[in-house]
Amino acid sequence: MVGWEEIKDFFSSFGKDFMDILQVGATWEYRVLDRPDLVWHIVKGEDGLPKVKEGPAEKPDAILFYSEKALEWIIKNTARDQDGRPIAQDFYKKWKEIHDHPRPGFDTYWELKISLGRLKRKGYMEFAKKYGLLT
């Protein structure tokens, strides 16, 4: 069972590559489908690093939903660099694997909260291409 501290530690450990192409202020909200108590959001900070905060975002660009099983698997199986930080490229690869090849109990989907035009201006199209998220 995944908890808030594990989630915070994992997502706070990413480097600038986690949201690299996106504009400062890009915001993702995360929700665990089978754990309504687990809601957090990540904002790209001025320094380029992800800022992880408990609770819902005021104005997210997107909301990402995970089953607890999928989130635990991603946290456990994302490759780490020599300093123990998760590698963004591998995180997105794991997410895409779950999304593209559904398995019982491994659920993930997203809900866009801003227009496609705004997403493009914020760098999301280039970001999705870089990490192979567009199919």
Query: Dihedral (C-alpha) 53, 54, 55, 56: value to the nearest 10 degrees?
Result: 30
pLDDT tens digits, one per residue of 4-53: 999 999 999 999 999 999 999 999 999 999 999 999 999 999 999 999 99
Crossing angle for the helix pair 68-77 and 88-100, to the nearest 10 degrees? 140
d(CA 68, CA 48): 28
For residue 74, pLDDT beyond 70: yes
pLDDT of residue 58: 97
For residue 109, pLDDT beyond 70: yes
Mean pLDDT across 75-84: 96
Instruction: Name every residue whose Cβ is closer than 8 Å to that of residue 10 and which is 6 or more positions away in sequence.
Output: 75, 78, 86
Other beta carbons within 10 Å of 88? 19
CATH code: domain 4-128 is 3.30.1050
For residue 134, pLDDT beyond 80: no
> Pick from 50, 54, 44: which is nearest to 4 by CA?
54
Predicted TM-score of the model (pTM)? 0.92
Name residue, tokens 């199986």.
77
Mean pLDDT across 62-85: 95
Query: Dihedral (C-alpha) 15, 60, 103, 127: value to the nearest 10 degrees?
Result: -50
Mean pLDDT of the chain: 94
Q: Is 80 helix (H, G, I), strand (E, B) or coil?
A: strand
pLDDT of residue 80: 96
For residue 94, pLDDT beyond 70: yes
d(CA 99, CA 96): 5
pLDDT of residue 135: 60
pLDDT over 90 percentage in the chain: 87
d(CA 79, CA 74): 9
